[in-house]
Structure 1
Amino acid sequence: MSETIAPLVLFDLDGTLLDSARDLHAAMDALLAAKSEPPVAFEEFRPVVSKGARAMLKQSFKQADEAARESLLPEFLAEYERRLAEHSRLFDGVADLLERIEALGPRWGIVTNKPYYLAEPLVRKLGWQSRSAILLGGDSLPRKKPEPDQLLHACAQLTVPPVRTVYVGDDERDVQAANAAGMRSVGALWGYRPLDDDPARWRADALIEAPLELIERGLLHGL
């Protein structure tokens, strides 16, 4: 492997590698029905998926206060666990990107805020358990993104310095975590994003419109 190529590429999961919005939306609709609440439109729900389960509950249970929404969190996650990977699909270009990264030589891994007990079976269903060098969930450490702890832990476990690592994610928290960790931050613009969220303000080192731009624009080089 060339000394100029980053030895490690880390990815967010939902909204970056995997389009899981349909399964999450189905889980939320089931929960809403169980509580005699009207369904939430998919177009309204999808943009907040990368903000996490609490943001999805806030978007869907608009009349509930924070304490009431918090009490619904275990039920929502249980509904989602029952539907895990029924309709989730890789974003276009992701499979090719991972193959290209492997051909170039770097290792790649996943650092997500999704709980590990949900992320791990997804990774197995995708056949990535032997390909991904590391998988860290939002509950793997006391703090999660936007704090840099998960990213720094991944680097320590794989003995790669953060300065020679690239992190790709579709949410501002991903960029904040990567910047705080001292690694190259890349914003994925094909993911989930509210209309009022301007990626130009994230302060990412680069923004990409499609997965293969990571390689085509040389964003793995120079590290």
Structure 2
Amino acid sequence: MAVVDAVTFPKAVLFDLDGTLLDSAPDMAAAIDAMRAARSQPAMPLDELRPHVSKGARAMVAAAFPQVDVAERESWIPEFLDHYERELGRHGKPFAGVEAMLGALERAGTIWGIVTNKPEYLARQLMPLLGWEQRSAVLIGGDTLKARKPDPLPLLVAAERIGVAAPDCIYVGDDERDILAARAAGMPSVVALWGYRLDEDDPVAWQGDVMIDAPLELTQAAAWPLRR
């Protein structure tokens, strides 16, 4: 009789941050609204900004100021980051179910960490505010290395730092570049459908290993993709 392996949690899980673990859109919106107020413009509705958050600072500034020349908007990125640093952790919070998911991983002995395109200095400031400073085994930011997602380098370096082979890690993200980076790194991937997406985004086309509607689903070992 064949022996069937028990369903287990993965050895290691790496997460995107904004739109995956953290609903940071309210902090981002406060930063954008400060910029708009300085230019005598009204606040931007949060629901209009939210889909752009996972695309990064440039995408958010472009969405808030579509009439402004690209080169001028580019010069505003440091201003946005300064405003965002002041709002960091004041309005956003982990998505519902994230703490339960992380707790389930920790009880199972799974190592977890964060690979984000957010500048590392901002991501590191968030860790103690969220109570994750000692819990996250690794943190790679968008400027930590010479490349960022969708390049696989940040995921590969994160796996190396935690001492787990890339195929034994799983990457969870809400943006196509997350899934592309995971595939290039040889990691199974989870598409976080609860995150930030534009109307034209098609997560099915990203071809992640599994698509999950809510973090609470990942409190169950069977929800994670098979390790290859």
TM-score, with normalisation over the residues of structure 1? 0.95
Give the superposition deviation at 1:212.
2.6
**Identical counterparts, % of pairs:** 54
Aligned-CA RMSD value: 1.5
Give the superposition deviation at 1:117.
0.8
Alignment of 1:111-126 (within 5 A): 111-126=115-130
User: Is contact 2:9-2:105 (8 Å) kept?
Assistant: no
Deviations 1:44-70 (A, max 9, x none): 111110000000011011111211111
Question: Judging changes above 3 Å, is the alpha-carbon distance between structure 1 residues 129 and 160 closer, same or farther for their aligned structure 2 residues?
Answer: same
Alignment of 1:11-160 (within 5 A): 11-160=15-164
Q: Note the residue ranges of structure 2 that are not aligned, 5 or more in a row.
A: 1-5
Residue in 2 aligned with 1:219? Answer: 224
SS at match of 2:189: strand
Q: Give the letter aligned to residue 163 of structure 2.
A: T
Q: Give the letter aligned to residue 20 of structure 1.
A: S
SS at match of 2:79: helix
Deviations 1:50-102 (A, max 9, x none): 00000001101111121111100000000010111111111011000000000
User: Is contact 2:188-2:227 (8 Å) kept?
Assistant: no
SS at match of 2:190: strand
SS at match of 2:177: helix
Q: Note the residue ranges of structure 1 that are not aligned, 5 or more in a row.
A: none
In structure 2, distance between residues paired with 1:195 and 1:177: 22
Give the superposition deviation at 1:198.
1.1
Residue in 2 aligned with 1:168? Answer: 172
SS at match of 2:27: helix
